[in-house]
Amino acid sequence: MLHSSQISVGEENNLSLRVYGEKGGLEWRQENPNQLVVKYPDRPTEIWGRGNGYITAPAAQAATRIPAGHPEGYLEAFGNLYREAFRGIRAEVAGLPPPPDLDFPTIDDGVEGMAFIETVVASAKLGAKWIKFPKV
């Protein structure tokens, strides 16, 4: 049986594939792209995660660019940061003011992040005592 639909009410681009054979079945859903559900007639269903060593097919390994535990979009997030930094650099080189909508972390953000880590470590050394986070 093959069911195909361009539009299904209540679905948000939910491409899903299910394949059944004599020894089991496979299910993959675009809304949860990091998992492959493997179904057997005589044992519990298994959920396989992307990027794990038990998936040994060369084609599957070649298509995996990030380690297990990192969601899809992980690399795109870095691309977004690089693009925004480049926009700022391009304006600077052209002698223009930075675009007002730039969206990337600044030195101040980094300093605040380090102050947060130092506060967490200090709290842990005091037995998880509350420490007010300093204004940076």
What is the per-residue pLDDT across 27-70, written as a single tens digit (0 to 9) for each? 998 888 888 999 999 999 999 887 777 776 777 777 777 777 77
CA dist 129 and 119 (Å) reads 10
In the chain, the number of structural domains is 3
- In this structure, the answer to whether residues 59 and 47 fall within a common structural domain is yes
Domain that holds residue 124: 107-136
Residue 41 φ then ψ, to 5° = -80, -20
Output the CA angle 56-61-64, nearest 5 degrees. Answer: 140
Write down the pLDDT at residue 15.
Answer: 84
Percent of the chain with pLDDT over 70: 95
The pLDDT mean for the chain works out to 86
- In this structure, the answer to whether residues 51 and 39 fall within a common structural domain is yes
Residue 110 exposure: Cα atoms within 13 Å on the Cβ side: 4
Write down the pLDDT at residue 42.
Answer: 96
pTM attached to this predicted model: 0.52
5 is a domain residue: no
* Longest Cα separation, the chain: 69
11 is a domain residue: no
pLDDT digits (tens, 9 = 90+) for 67-124: 777 777 778 888 999 999 999 999 999 999 999 999 988 899 999 999 999 999 999 9
